[in-house]
A and B are shown apart, each in its own frame.
Chain A
């Protein structure tokens, strides 16, 4: 908690706009963000990010279709050139009817999505009904806007099914909030858009839509070094969300990679099929 200052650092005067920690205050009071006492805040943040190298790099996508919303993502986290994890959960379950995706700084996304989940729950308790996707995305966008310029890195999609039907919003750390029917976020998004846009049709079945999403993620992981791991696909319908599949992209390669077989290989494939 911020109020337990064990460093003695707060004896230095903080620069204007910084948060002052009250030493006598209850340690269980709501914490606030401490800021460093330095003249060049931006430079400090740049250096701190460089030093701590938070995990990022990703491919996520979501689209609305006849049967609801499909949400898909890879599971790789990178710190610079190092793969820090191949099993990151990039699709977070905000509540049984709403999903969020993580792209950008892993800690930023994890923390603020959990915070959003708390706020959505409080909304339900205060208003005796579930929050809309519009409302949830607005809550998150407003929070991120208030931290604009501080170096947060969040590129998220909020997908859900509320009273108005399926809803999908893109929210980012600049404070941007866009309603849409097709989004892909992350370093692998250009590749995912290519596959997604060319194969998209509003009237798809759930299986076809999931297959399209899985392919798009696979192709993005193939070309983008910062994406990889497991391609997870979720569907959000009127009954809530359901995880449809989780496949290692290394395995998906043998299904999806377009291979032009040499005559010998073609012959071998034909004889083994016969």
Chain B
């Protein structure tokens, strides 16, 4: 609760994860919204479909998340009117970075992951800090459970850095079904040890055929 007149932020908890594959992208987030030790709702979606091939998952302060999503959706609509096509995922990634940075002195308290397919149909995941610094990666986790999840993903998925020269190929070896299973496993594990993660996990999979969504139950305690 904002008791200080000048402190307007709140951490609503929750975790987001995304994994990019050679021709798919899996984005997942839990559905719990908390304030302090209370759970306000168990059915809150942290995922927003910005475009055909582009999905945003956000953890942090959900008030800022809603404002940010609306902002991006509006800008995307303008782009579609002006260019007669959907924004590509890398373009949306740059837009999100700029949107976040323009609030550099009054930040969006959001930790975002943008997932989708790039113009070549390959999966891409972009991970952000709160003020807009971003990087394209093969997988990412943000939010209260990220510290529990990232080491597991590093262990299963770690691929050679794109900065290496001579370059080593960095395609995730997992198939789509294996990636979804891995996401379910990491969420189940994070739920065990993070009080802000639980209830349900919403999993969105983007591939050439489109976007599909599934929900999995998690521990509610």
Chain A positions within 8 Å of B, measured between CB atoms, are 1-2, 4, 6-7, 27-28, 31-40, 44-45, 47-48, 51-55, 75, 77, 79, 82, 84-89, 105-111, 150-152, 229-230, 232, 243-248
B98 within 8 Å of A (CB atoms): yes
Are the CB atoms of B164 and A151 closer together than 8 Å? no
B101 within 8 Å of A (CB atoms): yes
Q: Please report the C-alpha to C-alpha distance between residue A96 and residue B78 in the assembled complex, in whole angstroms.
A: 32
Question: B9 — which chain A residues lie within 8 A by C-beta?
Answer: 51
Stretch at the interface among B26-34, B51-59, B103-111: B103-111
A-B contacts counted at CB < 8 A amount to 121
Question: B65 — which chain A residues lie within 8 A by C-beta?
Answer: none
With A33-B102, A36-B106, A111-B98 already in contact, the answer to whether A247 and B164 are too (CB < 8 A) is yes
Give the Cβ gap from B216 to chain A, nearest Cβ, in Å: 27
Are the CB atoms of A35 and B105 closer together than 8 Å? yes
Give the Cβ gap from A138 to chain B, nearest Cβ, in Å: 22
Are the CB atoms of B129 and A246 closer together than 8 Å? no
* Additional 19 contacts, C-beta under 8 A, given A2-B102, A44-B6: A1-B75, A27-B78, A28-B78, A33-B104, A34-B105, A37-B6, A48-B106, A51-B109, A53-B129, A53-B130, A54-B130, A107-B133, A109-B133, A111-B98, A111-B104, A230-B164, A232-B163, A232-B165, A243-B165
| 8 Å CB interface, B43-87 against A | 67, 70-71, 74-75, 78
B132 within 8 Å of A (CB atoms): yes
- 9 A-B pairs closest in CB distance: A106-B133, A52-B130, A38-B6, A107-B133, A246-B165, A107-B131, A230-B163, A87-B161, A36-B106
Give the Cβ gap from A258 to chain B, nearest Cβ, in Å: 25
Give the Cβ gap from B180 to chain A, nearest Cβ, in Å: 24
The contact of B109 among A52, A87, A151, by CB within 8 Å, is: A52
The contact of B107 among A48, A88, A108, by CB within 8 Å, is: A48
A and B contact pairs by CB, cutoff 8 A, 15 listed: A35-B105, A36-B8, A39-B6, A51-B130, A53-B130, A55-B133, A79-B129, A82-B147, A107-B104, A108-B104, A229-B161, A229-B163, A230-B163, A243-B165, A244-B165
Question: A150 — which chain B residues lie within 8 A by C-beta?
Answer: 105
Q: Please report the C-alpha to C-alpha distance between residue A255 and residue B45 in the assembled complex, in whole angstroms.
A: 50
Q: Please report the C-alpha to C-alpha distance between residue A219 and residue B144 in the assembled complex, in whole angstroms.
A: 34
The contact of B161 among A2, A44, A246, by CB within 8 Å, is: A246
Are the CB atoms of A151 and B101 closer together than 8 Å? no
The contact of A106 among B5, B6, B71, B129, by CB within 8 Å, is: B129
With A75-B163, A151-B105, A248-B161 already in contact, the answer to whether A105 and B70 are too (CB < 8 A) is no
Are the CB atoms of A34 and B106 closer together than 8 Å? yes
Question: A7 — which chain B residues lie within 8 A by C-beta?
Answer: 67
Are the CB atoms of B161 and A55 closer together than 8 Å? no
